[in-house]
A = this chain, B = another copy of it.
Amino acid sequence: MAQSNVFAVIMAGGSGTRFWPLSRASLPKQFLALSTRRPLITETLARLRGVSTPKKSFVVCGAKHAKLVAKTLPSLPKANVIVEPEARNTAPAIALATARVAQLDPEGIIVVVPSDQHVADVPAFTASLNEAIALARTGVIVTLGIAPTRPETGYGYIKQGEALKSPTARRVAAFVEKPDRATAESYLVQGNYLWNAGIFVFSARAMLEALAAHLPESTSPLNAIRAALGTKKAAAVLAKEWKKLPSISIDYAVAEKATNIAVVPCACGWSDVGSFNALPEVRLQDTNGNVVSGALPFVIDSKGCVVLGKDKPIAVVGMTDVVVVDAGDAILVLPKDRSQDVRKVVEALKARKLAQYL
């Protein structure tokens, strides 16, 4: 059940290129139906119903995606779309959303989640959030740490410290950068490291205090923005003051510096849906390990492929572990384990100034 003073903040400022040609500057990953038939951001809002409601949920995004957010999430009040004047990393975005919540309820609890992740086990996720919310009510800043399932080198890790008076939470001993392979393997063996998924739970009061303490240069612009919120001057003040906020992640700005920070371990089938290569872990596969979509896919004598079609026939014969994507106005073929190399295509399109495909 949603609790009365729990607010959700969905971070939708991302503009990745790792799902080109499906993702575009005008349609970043969070708006794609990558894990289910609904866009990731739609699933994200739905997933939070266990702790909050759409009316108490906010989405932070860039100006060019504001209309798309409203259209994609019809249950979200339009006023709850918080537009960043420009992308300045997560700390200013969270500070702005926290200011909005603080105006409604200074004791409000805020659950911050990225808009573009997948969670298979929503009850487990909700249980972890509820433990985090209970801790946050005591003034602690809490992060969810994902129980690692492989020696991933693409994520930051959280080292668990001493136990707290909470069923599973522990003090954060350290946030650690993306490790090399050997280090990642040792983390997996040691068992006390968790993946940093960018999910935070805190009271508005605790976050504003933490920002004042650890990012003091944010205090003056943030106060100006808070004072103008809800007035006719709000947009003008935000535009002016936003530039003064440092472009920094909440991890660097607050999480790594705060002392009252805890982590709740969570094994919930989480995925950051980082590339086409991640789709087999979040989607149903056929008996040959293929992930297939589209109106007329013909996947024959093939295994381990990711075949994403549109309305027309997409035939893949005798292939193993390749990605084939039809976006309607562009086609991509590459080995699944080279999914990251889609950036080479994006770079080539940029070099040739083919903006309509970016």
- Do A341 and B312 touch (CB < 8 A)? no
- Do A315 and B332 touch (CB < 8 A)? yes
- Do A354 and B317 touch (CB < 8 A)? no
- Do B344 and A301 touch (CB < 8 A)? yes
- Do A298 and B338 touch (CB < 8 A)? no
* A344 to B341 alpha-carbon distance, docked (Å): 30
Q: Does A300 contact B (CB under 8 A)?
A: yes
Q: Does A213 contact B (CB under 8 A)?
A: no
A331 is contacted by which of B300, B313, B334 (Cβ under 8 Å)? B313
* A329 to B348 alpha-carbon distance, docked (Å): 25
- Given A322-B333, A331-B326, A344-B300, CB of A338 within 8 Å of CB of B314: no
* A341 to B312 alpha-carbon distance, docked (Å): 20
* A309 to B312 alpha-carbon distance, docked (Å): 16
A21 is contacted by which of B315, B326, B344, B354 (Cβ under 8 Å)? B315
- Do A329 and B345 touch (CB < 8 A)? no
Contacts of A319 in B (CB 8 A): 322, 333-335
Minimum CB–CB distance for A324 against chain B, Å: 5
Instruction: Name the interface residues of A301-352: CB closer than 8 Å to any CB of B.
Output: 301, 309, 312-319, 322, 324, 326, 329-335, 338, 341-342, 344-345, 348-349
Show 27 residue pairs from A and B whose CB-CB distance is below 8 angstroms, ordered by the A residue: A21-B313, A21-B315, A296-B354, A298-B345, A300-B344, A300-B345, A309-B331, A313-B329, A313-B330, A313-B349, A313-B354, A313-B357, A314-B330, A314-B331, A315-B330, A315-B331, A315-B333, A315-B334, A315-B348, A318-B335, A318-B341, A319-B334, A319-B335, A322-B322, A322-B333, A324-B331, A324-B333
Minimum CB–CB distance for A299 against chain B, Å: 10
